[in-house]
Structure 1
Amino acid sequence: MTATARTRTAPTTPATPATPTTPATLVIGATGTTGSRTTAHLVAAGRRVKAGSRRAAPVPGAEPVRFDWYDPTCFGDAVAGADSVYLVPPVGDPDPAAVMLPFLERARAAGVRRAVLLSSSAIPEGGPAVGQVHRALPGLFDEWAVLRPSWFMQNFTGAHAHADSIRADGVILTAAGTGRVGFVDADDIAAVAARALTDDRAPDTDLVLTGPEALSHDDIAALLTEVTGRQVVHHHLTYEAMRDRLAAAVPPAFAAMLAGMDRSIAEGAEDRTTDTVHRLTGRPPHAFRAVAVRELAVRPA
C-alpha cells in the first residue's frame, strides 16, 4: 500500500531548532510517502528528527542516518539519542516481524520509550505480515500506537503501480470490483503520526485512518478524468488474474495477500470512514478530489 513519493514542503510556521542534546524521533523510511511527511510535521513543530533511509539521504531540517532493516550493524547509530520511533515496515516482505522485532528489542534497550507503527486497515492485530508486529508492540513499549490507514490516495498520484499504469495507459487494474474504500491522504496519516509521537500521552491503541468518503475505483477513475482532463478507466480483474500479475513483481505469497486484499474490498471490508484524523489533528481529512488537484496537473479552463 505504501509507495515512495516526493517530500511535501513543511508548514511555514517558524519553529525553534532542536539541539543535538534534545531526544530525537527516529523516522524510518524518512524519504518515503508517509515518512517524508511525518518528518516535515515533526521538524515544523521543533522536534529533533533522525531521518532514517538506506542511503542516509538529506532531508530538510533533519539529521540523516543510515537505516536498512536487513543490516543490523546500522541499528545502534540509528537509535542513539532517540526516545521515539516511527516504524515503516520493509516493503514487500511477507514476514516483517523477523527483522523488525530484533530491532525493536534493541531500540527499547537503547532508551526508546514510544513506538508508532504504520500498518494497514486491512491487517488486524495478530494478522499476517505486520499484524504480528502489531501484536508484539504493546509488550515492548509502554507508549505506543499502531496506525491502520486505509489505502493511500497517493497510490494514484505518486510512485505506485496504479499511478504508473494511469500515467502509461490511463488504466487502473484491480480485483476490487465495485467495492468502496475510505482512501486516505498520506499527509493526514503523517499529521496523525506526528501527534501520536509527540503528544503528552500516547494513544496506546490502534487507529483506523480514512478519508472523508468511501469511493470505488470506478469513482477514482472518474475523478481523475475530471481533474486531469485525460480519460482514466478502471478495469475489473479476477482475483487470480490480479494475483498472477502482482507475482511478476513481488514474491508469490505477498502477491496472493495483496490480491486477497482486493477481493476483501470487493466484499465490502473497506467500505467505512472514521473520525480519527479529525479527532487527533483537529481538522477534517482531505477529500480525494482536493488531493488530486494538489498533486496532479489540472486541465486548463
Structure 2
Amino acid sequence: MTNHPSVLVTGATGTTGSRVVGRLVALGHDITSAARRPADAAGARGIRFDWHDARTFSAALGGVDRAYLVPPVGDPGPVAVMRPFLEQARAAGVRRVVLLSSSAVPVGGPGVGQVHALLADGLFEEWAVLRPSWFMQNFTGRHVHAESVREEGVVSSATGDGKVGFVDADDIAAVAVRALTDPVAPNTDLVITGPEALSYQDVAAVMARISGRPVEHRRLTYEQMRDRLTVAGIPGEFAAMLAGLDRSIAEGAENRVTGTVERVTGRPPRTFRAHVERAFAECGRGAAPKA
C-alpha cells in the first residue's frame, strides 16, 4: 500500500467530483480527472470519459489503483454500462472502488442499487458505497430548485411535510476522500446526512431569512412534480423516479440523521443555515447564489 495511491475520479467537474479532486490534490495524490468535457485542474490530469462510450475506459484506468465513481446522470439503469467498466477496472488492477449512490436507494434497489449489489457481492476486495441524503446545493447551485428560488422565490416539491437530513456536498467529499485513502477500506455502505432533518417549508424559511426576500414552499402532487421536472428537461422515466422519491419523503422515508460525517472525518457536518449563509456571502447578499 503506497502513501499516495493514484485515484481516478469520474464526474470530476460535478458537484461532488470536483470537490473530491480538490481534496485529493491537496493531499498530494496523483489524480486522473475524468469527465465528458474534461479540464485539467491544478495537480490533476484531465481526460475525456463517457459511461456510454467504452472506448474511453482504458485511458481512464491507466495507472490508477483506486476510483471514485459517479454514475451516469439521468440513467435509470446504470448497471448496464457500469458493470463492463467495473470488470475492466478489476482486470486493470484497480484495488478499491468508492461508488456514489443515494440514501434513497438500498443495495439491490432500482438504478444504482444494482451497482451497489455488485460491490457488496465481492467484485472488489476494497470498496465503499456512499449513500448521501439530498444535497444542500440543490437550493443554491445548478438545480431546478435553485433556479426556481432565484427566478420565482419558490421551492416546489411533492414532499408535503416530510423531512430530509440535507447534506453539504463538501461533507460528502470529505467522507469520500477518507473512504478512498484510509489504510482500511470501509467495505460497507455509508449513509451520509447533515445534522438536522428539515422539511421543504423549513428550507424555504431559512432561505427567506438569510436572503431577505420571500421564499415559499409550493406543494405539488406527484403528477405535478413529475410534469414540472419533465418540462425542465429531465427525461420522462427519470423525472417520474424523482417525483416518486418526493412522495417517499412525504411518507417519512428520509426523516433521519446519521453520525457518519463526524465519525469518519472527525468534525460535525455543516448545517443548512451555515451552507446558505456561505453561499450568499460568496455571491453577495443582494443576489441569489448560483453555485
Please classify the TM superposition score into its range, dividing by the shorter chain length. Answer: over 0.9
Q: What's the C-alpha RMSD, in Å, of the aligned pairs? A: 1.5
Q: 1:146 is matched with which residue?
A: 129
* Matching residue's letter, 1:294: R
Query: Once the two structures are superposed, what CA deviation does each residue of 1:11-41 show, in whole Å capped at 9, x if it has no partner?
Result: xxxxxxx9xxx64100001110000001111
Q: Which stretch of structure 1 is more off in the superposition, 247-256 or 130-139? A: 247-256
Question: Which runs of structure 1 show a deviation greater than 3 angstroms over 4 or more consecutive aligned residues?
Answer: 297-300
1:90 corresponding residue in structure 2: 72
Out of 220, 225, 232, the position equivalent to 1:237 is 220
Structure 1 stretch 254-263 or stretch 244-253: which is displaced more? Answer: 244-253
Give the match for residue 115 of structure 1.
97
Deviation of the 1:45 alpha carbon? 1.1
Note the C-alpha offset of 1:252. 2.1
User: Is residue 191 from structure 1 mapped to residue 178 from structure 2 by the alignment?
Assistant: no
Question: How has the CA–CA distance of structure 1 residues 299 and 77 changed in structure 2, closer, same or farther, with 3 Å as cutoff?
Answer: closer
Match of 2:48 in 1: 66
- Could you tell me the TM-score, scaled by structure 2's length? 0.94
In the superposition, the TM-score normalised over structure 1's length comes to 0.91
Identity of aligned residues (%): 64
- Cα distance in 1, alignment partners of residues 138 and 40 from structure 2: 24
1:203, 1:54 → 2: CA distance? 29
Which residue identity does 1:75 align to in structure 2? Answer: F
Secondary structure of 1:148's aligned partner: strand
Q: Which of 56, 78, 96 is equivalent to 2:60?
A: 78
Distance 2:151 2:228 in 1: 16
Q: Report the alpha carbon displacement of residue 298 of structure 1 after superposing the two structures with TM.
A: 5.5
**Which of 275, 285, 288 in structure 2 is aligned with 1:291?**
275
Q: Output aligned runs, 1:223-234, within 5 Å.
A: 223-234=206-217
Question: Which of residues 174, 178, 181 is equivalent to 2:164?
Answer: 181
Pairs aligned (count): 281
Q: Which residue of 2 aligns with 1:40?
A: 22
Partner of residue 250 from structure 2, selected from 266, 270, 273: 266
Deviation at 1:243, TM superposition (A): 1.4
Equivalent residue for 2:237, pick from 253, 257, 277: 253
Whether 2:34 is the aligned partner of 1:52: answer yes
- Hey, what does 1:214 align to over in structure 2? 197
Of residues 245, 264, 272, the one that matches 1:280 is 264
Q: Which amino acid aligns with 1:106?
A: Q
Following TM superposition, by how much is the alpha carbon of 1:55 offset from its aligned partner in structure 2, in angstroms? 2.2
Cα deviation for residue 299 of structure 1 reads 3.8
Report the 3-state secondary structure (helix = DSSP H, G, I; strand = E; otherwise coil) of the residue aligned with 1:46.
Answer: coil
